[in-house]
Amino acid sequence: MEFCLIGAGFIGPVHAANIAVHPSARLRCVVDLNREAAERIATKYGAQVAPSLEAALADAAVDAVVICTPPRSHAAIIEASARAGKAIFCEKPIDLDLAKVDACGETLRRTGVPFFVGFNRRFDPTHQAMHVAIGKGEIGRPEMIVVSSRDPEISPPDYVKAMPYGIFYDTMIHDFDMIRWLTGHEPVDVYARTAVMLDEKTNPVRDPDTAMVVLTMADGALIHVNSSFRAVYGYDQRIEAFGEKGMLVSRNQQPTGLERYGAEGIRQDPLHYFFIQRYAAAYASELDHFIQGVAARAPLAIGFDDGRRALAIAYAAMESAKSGRPISLDA
């Protein structure tokens, strides 16, 4: 499968590296407005720099695209890629504008190209083991889920400015997806509170950097998610699912298992610094799923509807945070 990487920044290099070592994939070309970034990746993996998105999509040898550009550009790129008949791996969120997202969905349905949303966390081995355990009924029906989803740093001001309430659209959107996946249910309402805790220098845009959410699911289960953009001890990624028969905990991960015993106590490593370290295996695994699924014409694990619903929850969370009231979600 020959890939075109669209977007060479942020997570782009991670996908490029995974494509490079995958036995059934090859990175054919890279597109980015920042030509230097595109060239850096292309050179490393023996790919070309496509002169434009149009040129890349016109290349019949390209089987699939990986979309890693800023969220506001996603819908247009998805539409163009779908019309060009490419299989699409799109980073979350599908887009920020629900109307554009719905138009996308129309095009995807019409063209029938394979479409996958990169909610990588579903492919983490520990989260997956939790999903399997819930599926086996180990705790009975999940009655409460508590998620800690904290980043070690805030994004750069331009990125923050481009996506207000990014704490819901960019960060918790993963957790909203995880909750749908783990419970098998949709939320019926959401209540969210936010705060700006970082100082002016670190968060000059003053967009929320701290948030707590409570969701009620269609079956009555209660969900809590909390998030912050300054976990100094690393990328804090925990999920606990509680039910009639017990609790499952997906605990944090660390770079090494070294324990240091001294007069001042017992010390372990801080957590993995951020998503690239923490979810390295998940990124490789979701790409492999995409490649194998597209090749086998099998349904992909995370489709358009999943991406659209997670986005709708993020939207409702923002509305709740702005209004101070819980917001209902359509079924």
- Give contact residues for a copy of itself (rule: CB under 8 A): 21, 125-126, 128-130, 133, 138, 143-144, 146, 148, 150, 191, 193, 195, 197, 210-212, 214, 216, 220-224, 226, 228, 230-233, 236, 242, 244-271, 324-326
Q: What contacts 128, CB < 8 A, 6 or more positions away? A: 122
Let me know if 8 is exposed, middle or buried by CB neighbors in 10 A (0-12, 13-18, 19+): buried
> CB of residue 122 vs a copy of itself: minimum separation in angstroms?
14
Secondary structure element (H or E) that encloses residue 249, with its range: strand 246-250
Query: Which lies closer to a copy of itself via its Cβ, residue 83 or residue 322?
Result: 322
Decide if 93 contacts 292 (C-beta within 8 A).
Answer: no
> CB of residue 185 vs a copy of itself: minimum separation in angstroms?
13
Categorise residue 17: left if φ over 0, alpha if ψ from -120 to 50, beta otherwise: alpha
Query: Which lies closer to a copy of itself via its Cβ, residue 33 or residue 195?
Result: 195
Query: Which lies closer to a copy of itself via its Cβ, residue 105 or residue 234?
Result: 234
Query: Which lies closer to a copy of itself via its Cβ, residue 5 or residue 108?
Result: 5
> CB of residue 225 vs a copy of itself: minimum separation in angstroms?
9
CA distances 89 to 5, 113, 114, Å, are 10, 11, 8
Query: Which lies closer to a copy of itself via its Cβ, residue 80 or residue 280?
Result: 280
Decide if 108 contacts 87 (C-beta within 8 A).
Answer: no
Decide if 107 contacts 82 (C-beta within 8 A).
Answer: yes
Picking from 94, 12, 14, the residue whose alpha carbon sits closest to that of residue 30 is 12
For residue 225, list its beta bridge partners: 147, 213
Give CA–CA dist 84/72, Å, rounded: 20
> CB of residue 224 vs a copy of itself: minimum separation in angstroms?
5
Query: Which lies closer to a copy of itself via its Cβ, residue 72 or residue 193?
Result: 193
> CB of residue 75 vs a copy of itself: minimum separation in angstroms?
33
Query: Which lies closer to a copy of itself via its Cβ, residue 103 or residue 212?
Result: 212
Q: Which amino acid is at 201?
A: K
> CB of residue 42 vs a copy of itself: minimum separation in angstroms?
15
> CB of residue 149 vs a copy of itself: minimum separation in angstroms?
12
What phi and psi values does residue 263 have, to the nearest 5 degrees?
-60, -30
